[in-house]
Copies of this chain bind each other. A is one copy, B any other.
Amino acid sequence: MNQLKEALETLKDTGVRITPQRHAILEYLINSMSHPTADEIYKALEGKFPNMSVATVYNNLRVFREVGLVKELTYGDASARFDFVTTHHYHVICESCGKIVDFHYPGLDEVEHLASHVTGFKVNNHRLEIYGTCPECTSNEVH
């Protein structure tokens, strides 16, 4: 049940060195219940690592992604957000304040199969996001 421990195991198994920076980034990703940007992580850790470079954050997030520990969520102009992979889930995004809420739903296997059948693609995965207005922003609207 210790996610951090498991994640460190994964790194070890795949031959990725466990540096203090990597440890801290992973820890932050797991504990933060949000979906931080690279910059947010960088800022959050600059107390502990005053000399850490932004590149280190980006590099390691890429490493984590390649190993399958984190997912990168990209939204156009805004900066990418990173999500520690636990169970499969989708995201509901508030178009007003940008908040991201996790949302569990059985995978859309049927859609993948149909897409594969119609297009001839070898389908690997899919991405689904739901957009709307969160309760807070809805109640803050003028009416």
- Chain A interface (Cβ < 8 Å from any Cβ of B): 72, 74-77, 80, 90, 92, 94-95, 101, 103-105, 108, 111-112, 114-116, 118-135, 138
Contact = CB atoms under 8 A, between A and B. Distances in A.
Q: Indicate how many identical chains form the complex.
A: 2
A121 B108 contact: no
A92 B116 CA distance: 9
B105 A121 contact: no
A125 to B, nearest CB: 5
Nearest to A127: B129
Given A76-B74, A76-B80, A108-B108, A130 B138 contact: no
Contact of A121 (B111, B124, B135): B135
A126 B134 contact: no
Contacts of A103: 114-115, 118-119
A124 B138 CA distance: 12
A119 B101 contact: yes
A72 B75 CA distance: 11
A105 B114 CA distance: 9
